[in-house]
């Protein structure tokens, strides 16, 4: 079974500051890991995903995440926050052969002017 | 063109009623899903269909019945609605080239269900 823990249900940063959203996973098999973003009253949009090709994954909108097996982590970062980054962010895991995502509880990112 | 569409977008109904939510994808994908997002934003898989065949049913009450008339459509019928069914229901789809779970899932805009 897989699970995902997102530390911090709310993160607030100033515009231009570093964004760091934490995600730790648990999986008995090598996982596939995803970050999705949800803007208010919208569906989820993929930011990036890890599928074992490279440990540092670059996504859309300047986001990236690094897979660290030793720490079972897949934290999401962005060097400089923009007001438009304010949204809910979800980390998710899937396992080979199981075509469903297991989501973390989400982190709401607020960006202060 | 919307890749994954859902109707209706909002649904307000009384306890005990029966309602359906429709989902269509124009991406040519083989696999479709229903997820439920509760009031605390927690997302959980309900069902997954591959080529019209049910492959995942996650301990969902049998009041919920998915139906896939073809690969591009996955509908969700809910009987005898209860207060606890109030949530946002998301449809998603993914390609299934190698039966791999690394494929990106594309989500619809959600259906906001409120049971009074």
- Locate the chain A residue with the closest alpha carbon to B2: A43
pLDDT surpassing 60 at residue B99: no
In tens, the pLDDT along A46-83 reads 999 998 778 999 999 999 999 999 999 999 999 999 99
Q: Is A97 on the interface with B (CB under 8 A)?
A: yes
| CA distances (Å), origin A22, targets A7, A45, A59 | 6, 18, 16
Q: Is A5 on the interface with B (CB under 8 A)?
A: no
In tens, the pLDDT along B3-44 reads 999 999 999 999 999 999 999 999 999 899 999 999 999 999
Contact residues, chain A, for B103 at CB < 8 Å: 99
- Of A7, A45, A46, A50, the C-alpha closest to A31 is A50
What value, to the nearest 5°, has the Cα angle with vertex B11 and ends B5 and B17? Answer: 125
- Locate the chain A residue with the closest alpha carbon to B89: A43
Q: Is A100 on the interface with B (CB under 8 A)?
A: yes
Give me the pLDDT at residue A30, please.
Answer: 80
- Of A93, A80, A79, the C-alpha closest to A34 is A93
Q: Is B97 on the interface with A (CB under 8 A)?
A: no
Give me the pLDDT at residue B60, please.
Answer: 87
Q: Is B66 on the interface with A (CB under 8 A)?
A: no
Which residue, chain included where needed, has tokens 């997820």? B35
**A32 vs A67: CA distance, rounded Å:** 10
Contact residues, chain B, for A93 at CB < 8 Å: none
């Amino acid at each position: 079974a897989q699970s995902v823990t997102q530390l911090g249900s709310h993160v607030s940063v100033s515009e231009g500051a570093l964004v760091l959203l934490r995600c730790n996973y648990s999986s008995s098999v090598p996982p596939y890991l995803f970050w999705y973003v949800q803007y208010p009253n919208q569906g989820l949009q993929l930011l990036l995903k890890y599928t074992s090709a490279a440990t540092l994954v670059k996504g859309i909108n300047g986001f990236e995440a690094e897979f660290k097996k030793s720490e079972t982590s897949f934290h999401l970062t962005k060097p400089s926050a923009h007001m438009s980054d304010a949204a809910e962010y979800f980390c998710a895991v899937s396992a080979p052969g199981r075509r469903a995502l297991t989501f973390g509880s989400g982190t709401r990112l607020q960006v202060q002017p | 063109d919307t890749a994954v569409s859902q109707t209706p977008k909002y649904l307000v109904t009384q306890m005990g009623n029966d309602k359906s939510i429709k989902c269509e994808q124009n991406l040519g994908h083989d696999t479709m899903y229903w997820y439920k997002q509760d009031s605390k934003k927690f997302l959980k898989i309900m069902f997954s269909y591959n080529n019209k065949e049910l492959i995942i049913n996650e301990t969902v009450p049998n009041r919920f019945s998915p139906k896939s008339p073809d690969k591009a459509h996955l509908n969700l019928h809910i009987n005898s609605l209860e207060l606890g069914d109030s949530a946002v229901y998301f449809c998603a789809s993914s390609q299934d080239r190698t039966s791999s779970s690394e494929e990106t899932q594309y989500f619809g805009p959600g259906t906001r269900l409120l049971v009074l």
